[in-house]
Structure 1
């Protein structure tokens, strides 16, 4: 099984989701240092869009990847087609799960990403990103939990595309 977490930039919530999936973060509120220590968190650039980043193998032996799509509506359909081709040709029993982390992004994180990655103003962007990461932690933990659960559903197909709209961040809303 392969898990691919995706969103616009591929460097914030996708990296956080992969770290949660791989059990790299504690099951409590995270410190700023723990967030900044997440592999690729706030490190990727525009040129990295459309590239898969291997994050590790989970405790069940499944590979975990991330990708940033930017504004391209073609990246995911192309990846799904390639996945179908590879599964039918080489691994008839495999599964590939695409899980969208965009719905959990709070506005403060969007602003932080714009300042930090878009404008290169880390002094403004990073504090906003840290605040956003803390705001959406619970949503992201639930999203990852649900992604794993869906992957094992007996009715699930070989290619799953989880939009995760029910985890949309809403200020003040507790899960």
Structure 2
């Protein structure tokens, strides 16, 4: 199976979702500031990275976990989805692909923090808001990851596009 978590920048909630999926962040408690900031690629990508599939690793079942930032593009996710559907239609897709939107889990603190850190280059201020937001929404992200994994195991389709609107903070 392939899991692709996506959000606007690809460096906050999608990076955290990948970290939770790979058990690199605690699931039984609120993550510490240092744990969040030390997560792979957390608050490190720029707009130049939008649209790039970034491999985070393999989970304990051997499934690949990716993230992608879509930016303001309305084409990135449909393009990824369509590419995998084409592969499925040609009989070239041997595993299920789950494309999961993490944006519904973003609290306003993370929106402000991401803008400050990435757009305004006020990294220290932005990261303060990002950490508070990540701590506020960690359960939502974990629930989204668990639902994405479950969907991958139970859905009849080979390529799934999950909007996840039910996971609002």
Q: Same fold (TM over 0.5)?
A: yes
Q: Distance in 2 between matches of 1:131 and 1:118?
A: 19
How much has 1:82 moved relative to structure 2? 1.0
1:9 corresponding residue in structure 2: 9
Which deviates further from its counterpart, 100-109 or 80-89? 80-89
Q: Distance in 2 between matches of 1:58 and 1:33?
A: 22
Within a 5 Å distance, the mapping from 1:77-156 to structure 2 comes to 77-89=78-90, 91-153=92-154, 155-156=155-156
Q: Distance in 1 between matches of 2:99 and 2:93?
A: 18
1:172 corresponding residue in structure 2: none
TM-score, structure 1 as length reference: 0.92
How much has 1:87 moved relative to structure 2? 3.3
Within a 5 Å distance, the mapping from 1:33-72 to structure 2 comes to 33-72=34-73
Q: List structure 1 runs of 4+ shifted beyond 6 angstroms.
A: none
Which deviates further from its counterpart, 81-90 or 1-10? 81-90
How much has 1:168 moved relative to structure 2? 1.1
Kindly provide the CA deviation profile for residues 69-96 of structure 1, in whole angstroms up to 9, marking residues without a partner as x: 0011111111111112233446444111
Number of aligned positions between the proteins: 168
Q: Which runs of 5 or more residues in structure 2 are unaligned?
A: none
1:19 corresponding residue in structure 2: 19
Task: Give me the CA root mean square deviation.
Answer: 1.1
Q: 1:115 to 1:91 in 2, by over 3 A?
A: same
Kindly provide the CA deviation profile for residues 13-55 of structure 1, in whole angstroms up to 9, marking residues without a partner as x: 0000000000111221111110011000000001000101000
Asked whether the 8 Å contact 2:84–2:93 carries over to 1, the reply is no
Q: 1:123 to 1:92 in 2, by over 3 A?
A: closer
How much has 1:140 moved relative to structure 2? 0.4
SS in 2 for 1:109: helix
Q: Distance in 2 between matches of 1:112 and 1:78?
A: 28
TM-score, structure 2 as length reference: 0.96
Q: Which runs of 5 or more residues in structure 1 are unaligned?
A: 170-175
SS in 1 for 2:17: helix
Q: Distance in 2 between matches of 1:32 and 1:43?
A: 15
How much has 1:123 moved relative to structure 2? 2.0
